[in-house]
């Protein structure tokens, strides 16, 4: 789930839900790579993520589907200092050799384990993002992989109904990469 947020503070959450203790904030540098809009025209994005104390990771994001704030997409994420062979196979050798940075953003991420009825179901994160001359905040809820798609959708609908009355959150209509491109 993705929301544009007024603040990096976690929002009020519905009854039956709880946040565990906040994890240590993380500073992240994301660089998006493309060439002649070859990836973005496919609806894909390739991100290189660097964060202190963590390995560099490449993530290929594809096949995004949105229903309100609920976003489903296929991601291939691999720790590597160079574009991994698995991603090169997906995008093609020629394109991989031509990739260049097209957008960069710095983020300060705060995160909390999110529980429903005492059971861990997701991570709630807030990001303070800077890219180009723009700055904004986003909140994301990422459900744990052990949940079925049906359970994740049910929980997302419950949260979305609750957040719909919040004046501090609005469903995000674009990815961070699209927002960074718009900020250029």
**pLDDT tens readout for residues 118-131:** 999 999 999 999 99
* pLDDT per position as a tens digit, 89-103: 999 999 999 999 999
Is the pLDDT assigned to residue 65 strictly greater than 80? no
Region at 156 (left for phi over 0; alpha for psi -120 to 50; beta for the rest): alpha
The answer, yes or no, to whether residue 182 has pLDDT greater than 90, is no
Tell me what pLDDT residue 127 has.
Answer: 97
- Domain span holding position 72: 2-183
For the chain, what percent of residues have pLDDT higher than 90? Answer: 80
Tell me the CATH number at 150: 2.40.320.10
Look-up: residue for tokens 């394109």?
Answer: 95
pLDDT at 70 (0 to 100): 75
- The total number of structural domains in the chain stands at 1
């Amino acid at each position: 789930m993705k929301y544009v947020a007024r603040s990096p503070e976690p929002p009020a959450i519905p009854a039956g839900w709880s946040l565990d203790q906040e994890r240590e904030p993380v500073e992240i540098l994301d660089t998006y790579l493309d060439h002649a809009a070859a990836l973005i025209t496919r609806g894909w994005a390739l991100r290189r993520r660097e964060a202190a104390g963590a390995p560099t990771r490449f993530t290929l994001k594809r096949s995004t589907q949105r229903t309100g704030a609920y976003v489903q997409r296929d991601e291939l994420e691999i720790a590597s200092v160079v574009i991994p062979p698995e991603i090169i196979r997906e995008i093609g050798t020629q394109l991989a050799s031509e990739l260049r940075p097209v957008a960069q953003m710095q983020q300060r991420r705060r995160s909390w384990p999110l529980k429903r009825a005492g059971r861990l179901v997701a991570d709630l994160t807030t990001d303070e993002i800077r890219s180009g001359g723009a700055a904004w905040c986003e909140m994301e809820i990422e459900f744990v992989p052990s949940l079925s798609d049906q359970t994740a959708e049910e929980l997302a609908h419950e949260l979305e109904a609750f957040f719909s009355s919040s004046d501090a959150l609005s469903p995000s209509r674009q990815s961070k990469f699209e927002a960074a491109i718009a900020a250029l």
